[in-house]
Structure 1
């Protein structure tokens, strides 16, 4: 029989090790934690219907250069994927504590030869070319997997947006990281888009592998973009990485020696899925370093190469129109700024694109170009008093 002292002693409830709720106190005077705190489903929220059409004036797939915030501003609750049955008198060792799931599968449709296409806002997304390309591919798609951005994104580094209407705070625009399914000819594309995770990269890798195996993914393509010393007057050059590239070739020679560069979460996906036996490649657009904002010609080049590699077709009219508008805008800027015109002439005079040099060489060459073009090293495409490109 328990003593009175033992009956009044509260017990410590074991919660998730990190990011999964608070560790609470359960005792005679406090009710048990609710379902969400216990790691149960916690309910669900409705999702507004997405626009299915591609409108050239304001297409829904156009990605803001630095926002990465989805238009779908719903509140949602992610299931932790764990269940805590009652309280525990002793804490589990850190290595044995259950991991909180960072994703949930909303729907498992019947898929035919699905290919995963991934692009993340952040590192290696110059001109938002990669995320714009992926968002275009997925614009008619249905969300089937979503990731818990509360567990993956640093909101103080990439803050959500806030709508204010007539002085009233109306709603929050939360970041969304998800996979959408879209049909393209005789196969399915699973498109991963959203912010590059700030935290839990290894857990994110495990989640991507789990989802890919669960949905029967046969191959993957990672899309990104890198700022480079290339002119906008040329076709966007593309680099291709991966062992099983097939007929997919780079537009410029890849470095023959060993290189070590800062990694992105996309690189993790390419490596992890290749290790599971899936054909995994990366396609990286070389975007003119002087362009500010979304570079649609780069996005178009990525989409065209991706569709050709996968052997499928999708309408490209609206993206082609935006790429033409971007080219015309840049041509107008060049014509109105002698310094920009002179700098562009130097870029065009470089001839055939050389192998990719080390980063220090690129920076040194860029500084030399800028000094010769302006005398002070500033970007000749930036005009004081006007908005940058």
Structure 2
């Protein structure tokens, strides 16, 4: 097993000057409610010409038996193998500014070595800011403005703070990478979209739009939402249609709205009558999630 973290990757011989560039990253495998992060990755890659300039040795990092890559069998022989890739893409925004995007499966092993390897690339290329993004499920209604919170290695980088003061969560490579880069004196941050938890298992492009807006504001990159916004509009229209078809579900959404408004305004007594029973956000979300799932099976 390689000991030097830089032995984990190979860099293209033709890399332009990237001094001051931004490195975005998203790893498949950790929480990503509504596919918020992965959908944004697809949008970035489809909206700009791109090429791979660094490739990591996945044989050192992936447990194939834990998540087996797909293979295609045709008639009497194996036709293809969908090999996993952990790579860094070079892209250009709408006005020609270069930026980087690291994507692929979250490694199963050697997290510290991968973090050190990414740090080596950051220092080699003169990256000024590293940014991660994903979605998490929350007890919020889809009818309210989508929230995107941020965290960073310096307070000055944080745009919208989390309501949580201190909490322990399962570790993930994106978080460790941000931590280690900060310890080494590099600027790094992450964005998290609050996805209505009854929509967390599907694809919710509205969360991806929110992540894109937050990311472009902080990085200065010019990336148009175009197709992503259109997908969000279609999804929102479909959700509205499904909810409108059931008075019972509409009442559930209204109750969740009132609970959300009570929380954000801290004036619950003005929104909920004394003694009025209100289900918890989890109960409301579970009921609505069941309804939407049934509707999707019927169409």
1:262 and 2:170 correspond: yes
Q: Which of 254, 269, 284 pairs up with 1:369?
A: 284
Q: Is the contact made by 2:19 and 2:125 (CA closer than 8 Å) also made in structure 1?
A: no
Higher helix share: 2
For residues 184 and 190 of structure 2, the distance between their equivalents in structure 1, rounded to whole angstroms, comes to: 16
Instruction: State the Cα distance separating 1:121 from its structure 2 match.
Output: 1.2
SS in 1 for 2:79: strand
SS in 1 for 2:177: helix
CA RMSD across the alignment: 2.8
Per-residue Cα deviation, 1:254-276 (whole angstroms, up to 9, x for no partner): 323x3221121100111111222
For residues 224 and 87 of structure 2, the distance between their equivalents in structure 1, rounded to whole angstroms, comes to: 23
- TM-aligned CA distance change 1:153 to 1:348, over 3 Å: same
Greater mean deviation of Cα atoms: 98-107 or 226-235? 98-107
Q: Which of 90, 93, 111 pairs up with 2:18?
A: 111
Aligned to 1:54: none
Aligned to 2:231: 322
Aligned to 2:241: 332
For residues 286 and 306 of structure 1, the distance between their equivalents in structure 2, rounded to whole angstroms, comes to: 15
For residues 21 and 175 of structure 2, the distance between their equivalents in structure 1, rounded to whole angstroms, comes to: 20
Task: Return 5+ residue gaps in structure 1 as ranges.
Answer: 1-17, 19-79, 81-96, 356-363
1:150 and 2:59 correspond: yes
Task: Return 5+ residue gaps in structure 2 as ranges.
Answer: 266-278
- TM-aligned CA distance change 1:327 to 1:313, over 3 Å: same
| Mapping for residues 344-359 of structure 1, pairs under 5 Å | 344-349=253-258, 350-351=260-261, 354=264
Q: Is the contact made by 1:134 and 1:223 (CA closer than 8 Å) also made in structure 2?
A: no
SS in 2 for 1:379: helix
1:210 and 2:120 correspond: yes
Give the paired residue count. Answer: 280
SS in 2 for 1:192: strand
Aligned to 1:179: 88
Aligned to 1:234: 144
For residues 63 and 151 of structure 2, the distance between their equivalents in structure 1, rounded to whole angstroms, comes to: 29
Per-residue Cα deviation, 1:120-164 (whole angstroms, up to 9, x for no partner): 112131122112213422442211111122221222222211223
TM-score by length of 2: 0.83
Aligned to 1:289: 197
Q: Which structure is higher in RCO with an 8 Å CA cutoff and minimum separation 6?
A: 2
- Bigger radius of gyration: 1
For residues 76 and 123 of structure 2, the distance between their equivalents in structure 1, rounded to whole angstroms, comes to: 48
Q: Is the contact made by 1:115 and 1:219 (CA closer than 8 Å) also made in structure 2?
A: yes
SS in 1 for 2:233: helix
SS in 2 for 1:169: strand
SS in 1 for 2:113: helix
1:272 and 2:217 correspond: no
- TM-aligned CA distance change 1:104 to 1:386, over 3 Å: same
1:379 and 2:290 correspond: yes
- TM-aligned CA distance change 1:150 to 1:368, over 3 Å: same
Aligned to 1:193: 103
- TM-aligned CA distance change 1:264 to 1:352, over 3 Å: farther
Greater mean deviation of Cα atoms: 346-355 or 126-135? 346-355
For residues 118 and 176 of structure 1, the distance between their equivalents in structure 2, rounded to whole angstroms, comes to: 14
SS in 1 for 2:297: coil
